[in-house]
A = this chain, B = another copy of it.
Amino acid sequence: MAIILIEFNVEEKDEYSIVKFELKGNITPEVLKNLKPPQINPAKGVVLTGRGPIWLYCFLSHFYHPTRFIAVYDPRIGAVITESHSEKSIGEIIKI
């Protein structure tokens, strides 16, 4: 039985899906090998949020690459657009 070390939750908004993760222990990069983040509607954007290592965020950014845009939630700022195939521009902030 695989131990699930990363728990994902998806909250749907009109323009984007908020993919929130929670670490259930100390993760190592090994965890990326079999990680299956939730599938979402690629016609919408994705906002990534959760406390975790930068390499997990970069992995998730790549995983969700086919979506309309990707934003990273920074608690001090809001959700920052880091890539976009839409009218949103890089560096733009979404208040979620």
Residue numbers of A with Cβ under 8 A of B are 28-33, 48, 53-55, 57-59, 61-62, 65, 70-72, 74, 77, 80-83, 89-93
Contacts and interface: CB of A to CB of B under 8 A. Distances in A.
A52 to B, nearest CB: 9
19 contacts: A29-B91, A29-B93, A31-B91, A32-B90, A33-B89, A33-B91, A48-B58, A54-B57, A55-B74, A55-B80, A58-B61, A58-B72, A58-B82, A58-B83, A59-B82, A61-B61, A61-B62, A62-B82, A65-B65
Nearest to A63: B83
This chain's copy number in the assembly: 2
Contacts of A48: 58
